[in-house]
Amino acid sequence: MIATKNIYATIVAFYLAKYDKIAIEHLGYKSFSEAFTKCAEKLGANKIYIKLRRDEFDPVYKWRKGWYNRPMPKIISRTIDLFDQESESDMCALVWDILEHNKTKSWKPIVSQMLDKKQDAQSASFALRVMTGKRAETHFKEYHAQTGFPISGALEDCTAEGCGYDFRIHSGSENFCIEVKGITDDYGGILLTEKEWKTAMICGERYYLCIVSNLDSTPEFQFIRDPYNSLKVIKRSIQITQTTYSVSKEELIKNK
């Protein structure tokens, strides 16, 4: 059983990992070293524990080289499950509250969710999707550099911004949004978050969905422009009101 103080430390580590220097600034620290020390003091935890936990989020949030070849611990995938859709301001508020009031307040619902073994299958599945997505993003960057598809222009990596897409292409006076999804096999379905789907709706024809399939051998690329108006989706609300939109493999085949 993980101690409650270490659950809180993991939440803090998640915030530091995802938002990097912005998190340091918003918590009022001057460096990661100071953040690890001060946060550990406030939680009664070990500063090395917070640092190591932060490093375990590196395969997902790419500020550092990190531990990309290590299996993702269950507590890490559960934390991502719970908080990845939260805004920076909301996470900052939660972390600040935990740091300042962990001796007098309790966050039992959050602690219970993070310790719930029933969530392991979903969390493991999420971790696999994350790693598949990162591979797909790498392939897309290489593909765009070689071909200029789907739109030629300067490619900007937005994966750390949580803006509803992974890349922005600056082409002339216009900006185009690219959301990348990976599939290990030739065909398969995908999931889009609520934010991704709403952003696709807002951006219309300036939004491209890039499907990178066959990741385990020779990657293949499929681009769907304006997916909001091109695809039929199934809306599902799962766990703490996180909404996703699934696209079946049959629907993707229809749009080839």
- Name the residue ranges covered by the structural domains of the chain: 4-115, 132-254
Q: What fold characterizes domain 132-254?
A: Trna Endonuclease; Chain: A, domain 1 (3.40.1350)
Rounded-to-integer distance, Cα 66 and Cα 89, Å: 25
Tell me 30's DSSP state. S
What is the per-residue pLDDT for 58? 81
**Bridge partners, 212 (sequence order):** 182, 221
In order of 2, 138, 150, the CA distances from 12 in angstroms are 15, 28, 38
Write the Ramachandran bin of 205: left for phi over 0, alpha for psi from -120 to 50, otherwise beta: alpha
Instruction: Looking at the chain, list the stretches that DSSP marks H as alpha helix, in order from N- to C-terminal side.
Output: 4-27, 32-43, 47-56, 74-83, 88-101, 108-115, 120-147, 194-203, 227-230, 249-254
Question: Would you say 27 and 35 are in contact if contact means Cβ atoms under 8 Å apart?
Answer: yes
CA 4 from chain centre, in angstroms, equals 24
Taking the chain (256 residues) in consecutive chunks of 10 residues, what is each chunk's mean pLDDT?
89 94 94 96 96 88 63 84 79 87 74 67 54 82 96 90 90 96 87 90 97 90 96 70 70 82
